[in-house]
Amino acid sequence: MSGLLRFLPAALVAASFTTSSLGEAQAWRAVPVTESRSVGEEPRAVEFLDEIAREAALAAVEEVGEGKVAPEEIWLTVLDARDARDPRLGHYQGEALVYPASVVKTVYMVAAYDQVATGQLEMTPDLFDDIRAMMSVSSNRATSRIFDRLCNTAFGPELEGEALESYEHKKYTVYRYMQELGLDGLFAVNKTYAAGVPLYGREYAFLGARAGDNFEYSNKMTTNDTVRLLHMIWRRALVSPEASEEMLGHMWRGEGRGGSRLRTALPEGATLYSKPGGTATCRHDAGIYELPGGGAIIVAAFSFVRTDDTYPPVIETAVQKVLDALLEQPGELDLASGDPDRTREPLEEDDEEDDDS
């Protein structure tokens, strides 16, 4: 599929992702992992974005009401990519590892396209349909099938000895790929389990001791590395430009694609690509706001929710406050200072003649 798709209206882009453009697998990556990693390392940390994220998170906690979410139970990262030459990142608790719920499916989507490109998987109609179901309607059954393909694992009784060691090594397949990309904060080592599917045997034993609402070896992600991964996709810098285009198509949240909490903060004329997730005790979302004038703002917002009634809109509120504050600032900042109050000053004319000697 041509990279020209990025210039088409969002509805046409989404409509074009009905069959895979990678139908004939080739044992190569168009974008080497080292180049993908360098794109992930581009965003620089700036203090004023940290302050925006912190103030937005704490204000959102205060607005939703005491007892429903605590300041230590919200994690927020924003990546300002309006100036592609100077992507900038700020966060509130963005380095903490948090159970990601279905946001982890973005990681499995990326890994699936990588394994197709390297010849480890074939992009069959069934695999493509499972990726689409995993991302657009968040199917846990589709995710489990994809995970087993990626890692060559399966449900079954407990294992011992070398068989157990082999199984545990294979469960880390996707995480090792994330480490190659420089994203140590994307610990993706488990399926997402569908309601009614029993968790038993080797799957249950692998999770380890219970830790709060989850387990010692549950999936974990940082919001910082989540936005870095999305930035790589948006830059068409993962696997190949065509594969990245398809990934964006799976994440598109336009007409007829609901479910994302980030839609409430959608700037006028912007296009949203996202992956939400949630359980009985958490509400998360991560997405890309592609702006009509060019560039993007990428956010990841995770929160735990301690309430017996409706879920408070803490994610929606925090992201709206981030966008309100950020869009008041210029898209291009002074490259040296990162100060939002300073833009580049024009160079003064030099009165002296050039010395050609």
Pairing mode, if any, of strands 186-187 and 210-211?
unpaired
Return the closest-CA partner of residue 107 out of 167, 172, 155, 175. Answer: 175
Task: For residue range 343-355, list pLDDT tens digits in order.
Answer: 444 445 544 544 5
Q: Which residue has the tokens 């074939």?
A: 122
Mean pLDDT of the chain: 86
- DSSP reduced 3-state for 25: coil
pLDDT of residue 52: 97
Q: What is the pLDDT of residues 155-195, one digit of tens each?
A: 899 999 999 999 999 999 999 999 999 999 999 999 998 77
Domains located in the chain, CATH noted: 13-18+29-326 (3.40.710.10)
Please give the angle made by the CA atoms of 171, 285 and 100, to the nearest 5 degrees. Answer: 30
Task: Tell me what pLDDT residue 305 has.
Answer: 84
- Please give the C-alpha separations between residue 158 and each of 154, 199, 206, 215, 219, in angstroms, as whole numbers: 11, 12, 9, 17, 20
Residues 6 or more apart whose CB falls under 8 angstroms from that of 245 comprise 1, 3, 5, 6, 13, 21, 236
Positions in the chain short of pLDDT 50: 1-20, 23-27, 335-338, 341-347, 350-351, 353-354, 356-357
Going by their DSSP bridges, the two strands 88-92 and 44-45 should be labelled as: parallel
